[in-house]
Amino acid sequence: MQQKTERKLVWTNTAVVCLVALLCCFLWGSAFPGIKIGYGIFDISGEQTGLQIIFAGTRFFLAGIMAVVIGSFAHKRPLFPKKTSWLPILHLSLLQTTLQYFFFYIGLGKTSGVKASIIEALNVFVALFVACLLFKQEKLKQNKIIGSILGFAGVFLVEIWGSRGTGSSLGGIGIGEICVFISTVAYAFSSVYLRKYSEQEEPFVLSGYQFIVGGITLILLGFLMCIFLPASLGSGYAAMTTGQVLGAVASHMAGGFFSLKGCGIVLYLAMVSAVAYSLWGVLLKYNPVSKVAVFGFTTPIFGVLLSAILLREADTLRIGVLVISLILVSIGTLMAQKN
């Protein structure tokens, strides 16, 4: 009992919450350029949605194995799900991994990165309202709403005017935007359910095994898309038989996995998901959703900054806009921390 109390005191400490949440968001932000780099190494084009889904599924399957191994070392015992754990695991894998990333990758192929980033930032609002109004996990206070609005304003600012040559026109709403929004809602609900399930279950078990299940599901969906929707594999595959399609997919992906760079980027992206989501689950176990979720506004800002550095686009970055965005996000995050 004393050990649990001490652990709770550590994970509810504001400084610890801030540092760990920012680490998670930094890792997630690094995934944006990481995925683009991975597509280049694996020679996956923007129209090859099926290959993108297989790439994502492989990443999350490996992330699940990593999370289980890390959690087992941390607890000094092998981590296996209890019988009662499988329903939460399946539920989370459906929301967090399968639905979120299936719709996100499809949506991203049909809309701009700017629109996708702004819509994704709405997950903080959705998670806040779901936690407060639907699940009654906490009270919806004025400071949380204002803090979330300021954080969203920071994201909106850096995505629209953060890079030279980026237009401010968002255009209309189409199938791409709808898919990204469905992805956002799925992620927001998964955060709330992760908070709920973590009260009784070990976060490393939940995150690890839901990634394994979700990763396998995405890989299967990716292969089915390649077989029944040849356009999702790219041009030139429509006339192939099922066996030829499977062989072409396997050959295409193997070309990346047999290279040092390919293995390295997939393992890094898997590590990002394993570490960040597991730590995020621990934070949600001991803290209100609003106190943790609001840090999510820093993810796209980290993504913009790291993309500029890693993709050699630093000369297009508007530092002044980035600074103002960080100030807005910081103020919003601090406001949302108040009880």
Do 294 and 329 contact (CB within 8 A), yes or no? no
- SS3 for 100-117 is HHHHHHHHHCCCCHHHHH
Per-residue model confidence (pLDDT) at position 269: 95
The confidence score (pLDDT) of residue 168 equals 46
268 class by beta-carbon count within 10 Å (0-12 exposed, 13-18 middle, 19+ buried): middle
Of the candidates 113, 112, 126, 114, which has an alpha carbon nearest to the alpha carbon of residue 182?
126
Please report, rounded to a whole number, the percentage of residues in the chain having pLDDT higher than 90.
25
148-168 residue pLDDT tens? 788 788 777 766 665 555 444
The band of 91, judged by pLDDT with boundaries at 50, 70 and 90, is very high
CA-to-CA separations, 122 to 127, 141, 144, in angstroms, rounded: 9, 18, 14
Mean pLDDT for the chain overall: 81
Structure confidence at residue 78 as a pLDDT band (50, 70, 90): very high
**Is 14 a residue whose pLDDT tops 60?**
yes
The pLDDT, as a whole number, for residue 16 is: 93
Residues 85-91 have a mean pLDDT of 94
Mean pLDDT of 135-140: 74
Residue 234 has what pLDDT?
65
The pLDDT, as a whole number, for residue 238 is 63
Out of 73-87, 92-106, 132-146, 291-305, least confident range: 132-146
Q: Are 166 and 318 in contact (CB under 8 A)?
A: no
3-state secondary structure of 317: strand
Taking only the tens place, the pLDDT of each residue in 101-129 is 888 877 776 765 556 666 777 777 788 77
